[in-house]
């Protein structure tokens, strides 16, 4: 996607978010404005840090899954959270400290994503694959968990759910988590094949997504 296309995407999604949030209600609410700012920051980080990658033997079967998840999750995130925020009073409290706590969590997810991308040095790709000169990264956030980029997505989605009081967003978290676990299975098979004992040793001393737990 060229720069102009990315700008159009940000403008259109922001417009739809505002409309789904009942426009004046959303744009006059500090949490609504902060959400729009973080939404745009999230995608700017994604556009800058994520590469498409080249087609490889490891990517077969993954492209369709990634496409389906994107078709489900992106429209969902654009419409559902602001709609719930502006249309309901519960069961999660709207506005106030709860919403701003969720926004902090959303910002944390974006920060973890940005650092993960930076530490992979251009190897953060949509398609599964390992470049010939690529080395295994085990420092920084990758010293804590093996897949901080995927963790950042779960943190961001959870933050959105709390910030917007969106129960349906937590349904999306479950759907995405199922996809990510499958994706991680395939990615780790690839990394074992490419890095062998080095990656197996790395697996023995780290967790996948949640430090000390999983």
Torsion of CA 96, 101, 106, 109, to 10 degrees: 170
Angle in degrees, 0-180, between the axes of helices 167-195 and 62-87, rounded to the nearest 10: 160
Beta partners for residue 125, in sequence order = 51
140, two tokens: 């920084």
How many Å apart are CA 140 and CA 112, to the nearest integer?
11
28 burial via Cβ count (<10 Å: 0-12, 13-18, 19+)? exposed
Give yes or no for a contact between 38 and 110, defined as CB atoms under 8 angstroms apart.
yes
28, two tokens: 């006059």
Give yes or no for a contact between 136 and 142, defined as CB atoms under 8 angstroms apart.
no
How many Å apart are CA 100 and CA 103, to the nearest integer?
5
What pTM was computed for the model?
0.91
173, two tokens: 């978290």
180, 41, 163, 6: which is closest to 114 by C-alpha?
A: 41
pLDDT at residue 161 in the model: 95
* Per-residue model confidence as pLDDT tens for the chain (214 residues): 588 899 999 999 999 999 999 998 999 999 999 999 999 999 999 999 887 767 667 777 677 777 788 888 999 999 999 999 999 877 777 778 899 999 999 999 999 999 999 998 877 877 777 777 788 899 999 999 999 999 999 999 999 999 999 999 999 999 999 989 988 998 999 999 989 999 999 999 999 999 888 8
């Amino acid at each position: 996607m060229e720069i102009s296309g990315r700008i159009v995407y940000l403008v259109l999604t922001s417009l739809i978010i505002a409309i789904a949030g009942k426009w004046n209600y959303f744009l006059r609410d500090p949490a609504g404005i902060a959400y729009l700012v973080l939404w745009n920051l999230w995608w700017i980080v994604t556009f800058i840090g994520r590469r498409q990658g080249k087609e490889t033997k490891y990517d077969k079967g993954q492209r369709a899954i990634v496409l389906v998840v994107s078709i489900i999750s992106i429209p969902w995130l654009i419409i559902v959270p602001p709609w719930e925020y502006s249309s309901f009073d519960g069961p999660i409290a709207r506005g106030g400290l709860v919403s701003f706590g969720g926004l902090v969590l959303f910002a944390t997810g974006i920060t973890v994503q940005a650092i993960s991308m930076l530490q992979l040095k251009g190897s953060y790709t949509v398609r599964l694959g390992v470049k010939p000169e690529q080395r295994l990264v085990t420092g920084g956030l990758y010293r804590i968990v093996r897949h901080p980029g995927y963790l950042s997505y779960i943190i961001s989605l959870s933050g959105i759910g709390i910030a917007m009081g969106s129960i349906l967003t937590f349904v999306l978290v479950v759907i995405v988590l199922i996809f990510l676990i499958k994706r991680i299975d395939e990615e780790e098979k690839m990394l074992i094949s490419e890095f062998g004992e080095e990656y197996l040793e790395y697996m023995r001393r780290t967790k996948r997504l949640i430090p000390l737990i999983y």
